[in-house]
Structure 1
């Protein structure tokens, strides 16, 4: 495989890279960069001023997140997807034990794990979060279950990001979890139609009950005339977490610019949806390249 090859669709064969011979590290890193860039994510805008080693570390972390997220989200036999997540658990264990790994993302993670002392528990938390999706544990979940899910799938990313940035004090760790929850709640509001198409309903049970929504099937909830009440309440929780994140950023010994840009991009998406009365979502509220460039300039990344 050359550095310019497009990463394969993980649905075709979840375990292909685990069985294949390991590629050279530079090719693995190129594969990872292609994986991230193909996702067209806002994430890349937060990496402009990082040193090359930290930037490559973040590419590897994000590629890992995308890979296991695809395993949970894309069509494919349930047993195969569970097996793929189990194989990732084993691959992470091999990485931390200093044993040979074969997946290009694992190869690209090896050096960042060593150089930045990334926490094994956070990679495993991410896998735990994906397993919650596969087990259908999030069909109008109670609030503690949704909080746990946010901690696993978003808070873990935040912790790993701040570890790469060498921000490890108590304020930074709280920021990782709090901002991660704000971003994930925004995702839930933005992607509610896409999630419903997969039969998933992340909106919390207590808010559905308060709005008088009894039928908890995802499609029925999206059609309910009082859905806006649920969205308003969840948005208020997200905005409170954005506000707390701003306080924590002010306390950090160094301003985590990558986290700031992500916060500003998602906060603006949330405000767009709220201003439109929740009539928009998905790609329609994502910021244009010009808007992302403005955010990057405004917060000192370019």
Structure 2
């Protein structure tokens, strides 16, 4: 079974300059196709930082999409281990021939990014491959921290390594809010494949269960669980907004995808059909406007 994205094929032999150009195009297209919100956010970053950001987001898209491409847990774990080996390899090792992997290795080396953060992210992504329970809110926050929050912090280190450490806690809040919003948007997909990211303690408090939430018809218990998840995402979003006005302009692009979270949550709450069954979307114009406004004005003091 093939485990490579169609957008990231093995490159054909060509001149070095063509390889660089084509590989860069592959990395950008990977992000544009799989994570359009982050793709748009990169366009507001300084031009000399965009390649590194695209490589981070392309890597994230690759590992986040492993289950959808491979469908089986064990080969998925093998794929995650391949990424570990690529990242852990010595800097002078020859290119591996995968456009996203080669671009990521260059970014890690050029910006001295901590390899441990990538290892933790890959470890967290093992959860994606199985249908195990998410035991508690704390476990969910830990998952969000190792994935979305870590990605924000790595992007911040690329943009401004001097300022990034001061906003690590804010990145944690932002990552939880963004990841939880994303999980809510993916509810129809997760339920279709029998997966539940809603913590068991939240489900129990709502009068539901993982099995009922996934296979049921979206009764009162499931709706209460969704409402609790929205409230949890808003809690982290509010905590982020409390300190977001202090973000320097140099770091805004790293946090910019969060500009859409509130609008997504509003749309989920006010949707005519249950978010358990139908994916919620924002119009392209709305997304562009929110990103532009926060890129140029930041987040006002709360």
Q: Smaller-chain TM-score range?
A: 0.7 to 0.9
> How far off is 1:131 after superposition?
0.9
Per-residue Cα deviation, 1:130-176 (whole angstroms, up to 9, x for no partner): 11222433x24322221221112211211111111115455411121
Tell me which residue corresponds to 2:61: 66
Per-residue Cα deviation, 1:7-29 (whole angstroms, up to 9, x for no partner): x97268x9x759x9897333322
Tell me which residue corresponds to 1:31: 26
Tell me the TM-score normalized by structure 1: 0.84
Per-residue Cα deviation, 1:220-239 (whole angstroms, up to 9, x for no partner): 35533222211222211111
1:207 is matched with which residue: 202, 205, 215? 202
Distance 1:276-1:27 versus aligned 2 partners, 3 A rule: closer
Tell me which residue corresponds to 1:155: 149
Is 1:142 the counterpart of 2:140 in the alignment?
no
> How far off is 1:71 after superposition?
1.3
Q: Distance in 2 between matches of 1:11 and 1:78?
A: 17
Contact 1:182–1:242, Cα closer than 8 Å, also in 2: yes
Contact 1:49–1:301, Cα closer than 8 Å, also in 2: no
Per-residue Cα deviation, 1:102-136 (whole angstroms, up to 9, x for no partner): 12112112332233222212211221121122243
Is 1:183 the counterpart of 2:174 in the alignment?
no
State which drifts further: 247-256 or 156-165: 247-256
Contact 1:199–1:218, Cα closer than 8 Å, also in 2: no
The alignment of Structure 1 onto Structure 2 pairs a total of residues equal to 290
Is 1:166 the counterpart of 2:170 in the alignment?
no
Contact 1:158–1:180, Cα closer than 8 Å, also in 2: yes
Tell me which residue corresponds to 2:256: 261
SS of residue paired to 2:211: coil
Q: Distance in 1 between matches of 2:203 and 2:277?
A: 21
Q: Give the gaps of 5 or more residues in structure 1.
A: 1-7
> How far off is 1:299 after superposition?
2.3
Q: Distance in 2 between matches of 1:40 and 1:148?
A: 22
Tell me which residue corresponds to 2:4: 10
Tell me which residue corresponds to 2:300: none
1:227 is matched with which residue: 201, 222, 229? 222
1:127-138 → structure 2 map (5 Å cutoff): 127-137=122-132
Is 1:246 the counterpart of 2:241 in the alignment?
yes
Is 1:294 the counterpart of 2:289 in the alignment?
yes
Q: Distance in 1 between matches of 2:276 and 2:214?
A: 16
